[in-house]
Amino acid sequence: MTKLINFTHVNPIRAKEIALIKKEISKIIDKKNFILGEEVRKFENNFSKLSKIKYSVGCASGTDALILALKSLELKSSDEVIVPAMTYISTGLSVLTNNNKLIYADINNYTGLISIDDIIKKITKKTKVIIPVNLYGQKVDLKKLRSRIGSKIFIVEDSAQSHFAFSCFNCPNKDKKKCCQKERNDHYADISCFSFYPAKNIGAFGDAGLVSTNNQKLYKKLLSLRNLGSIKKHEHNHLGINSRLDTIQAVVLNKKLGSILKLNNIRRRLALLYDEKLKTVPEIEITKTKPGSTRHLYIIRTKKRDSLMKHLLKKNILCQIHYPYTLNKLKPFIKFNKKKKFIKNSEKWSNECLSLPMHPELKVEEINKVVKEIKNFF
């Protein structure tokens, strides 16, 4: 029987690291310090240090990270929040959960990232927040975005797929295929939100998330909001939610934090291999990606996407679609911006995009097989 090529490898971690994690978890069980234990603060500090953002607040999930971010900004129900039409449901869900007005922006047809030009077209006097999504591990050019929107509109960066990505927009490196790992440009966002869902580049052993900011006032508010609006027990200053990062997940994430940059580089090398081998296939389009992308997903586009996906499945190659529907086609969002002409690139991508197998454990011979079967199909 032909060996199965998995789409992803959840929680790639060595046996030695697992043993250390089990040891640390045993200590937590002995101490019975399961919620917001000292390991949570340790992880938050280490994440801030590695990401070069001053403050980090762990929470229960990436979705909660977005909800907390919007809550911290104290928006009115009439305030508008611009999001890309092509994204995971959590981006739009956070806006509706916070009772704000959802406005869709289209994506760039080459990168799949939110179009800054289209953002500018959608801005009104009611626009208070823009949520650029670092889709597939790529960074949105926040420096360019900030220069065009000014300082009065908040930027809440959805970094669920781009842990420790580099921006590359002003990179002096002449080798455009390699990342010099010098520029992150995170300081242009007011708040950045992360997910540690198990399949992410750095994944927990369950759900987990984090919100980061360089603003001390927002940081203090976020600490309260994640804990039912409380900093001191029985004293509640905000209408918060129950979204605390549990101590066991913090232990897991802290251990995995040490290898994330190395694993991201492995993904980059694998993506370059895909690029080189697929560039001669005229029936597909390879996503134009900066070298600093974390390569969380490897995306191709083809008008024969569904047929190709079925063919690869028959050959024991698992692929996925990110995403088969734009937000406006999902039931909770269907009443917002029905006119397709506003998001034509997003609609096109949802019909053509295909995510090929991509994870640090992927073998060169597996990539060769994927490419071979794609060529055989066409």
pLDDT, tens digit, for every residue of 88-121? 999 999 999 999 999 999 999 999 999 999 999 9
Q: Tokens standing for 295?
A: 């390569």
Is the pLDDT assigned to residue 183 strictly greater than 90? no
| pLDDT above 90: percentage of residues in the chain | 80
Q: 275-302 pLDDT, tens per residue?
A: 999 999 999 999 989 889 999 999 999 9
pLDDT given at position 370: 98
Count of beta carbons in the 10 Å neighbourhood of residue 200: 23
Strand order in the sheet with 154-158: 55-59, 209-213, 191-195, 154-158, 127-130, 80-84, 101-105
Indicate the helix (H) or strand (E) that contains 313: helix 305-314
**pLDDT tier, 178 (very low <50, low <70, confident <90, very high otherwise):** low
Joined tokens for residue 357: 């197998």
pTM: 0.94
Say if residues 62 and 209 touch (Cβ distance below 8 Å): yes
Residue 365 confidence class, pLDDT cut points 50, 70, 90: very high
Pairing verdict, β 127-130 and 154-158: parallel
Mean per-residue pLDDT, 243-270: 95
* pLDDT at position 22: 87
Measured CA to CA, the distance from residue 131 to residue 133 in angstroms comes to 6
pLDDT greater than 80 at residue 340? no
Work out the average pLDDT over 307-314: 98
pLDDT tens for residues 21-74? 888 889 999 988 899 999 999 999 999 999 999 999 999 999 999 999 999 999
pLDDT at 291: 87
Place 18 in a pLDDT band, splitting at 50, 70 and 90.
Answer: confident
The SS3 call for residue 234 is: coil
Burial of 176 (C-beta count, 10 Å sphere; 0-12/13-18/19+): exposed
Q: What is the pLDDT of residue 314?
A: 97
Domains of the chain: 15-257 (3.40.640.10), 260-377 (3.90.1150.10)
Q: Distance (Å, rounded) from C-alpha 144 to C-alpha 127? A: 18
Residue in 203, 206, 227 with CA at minimum distance from that of residue 57: 227
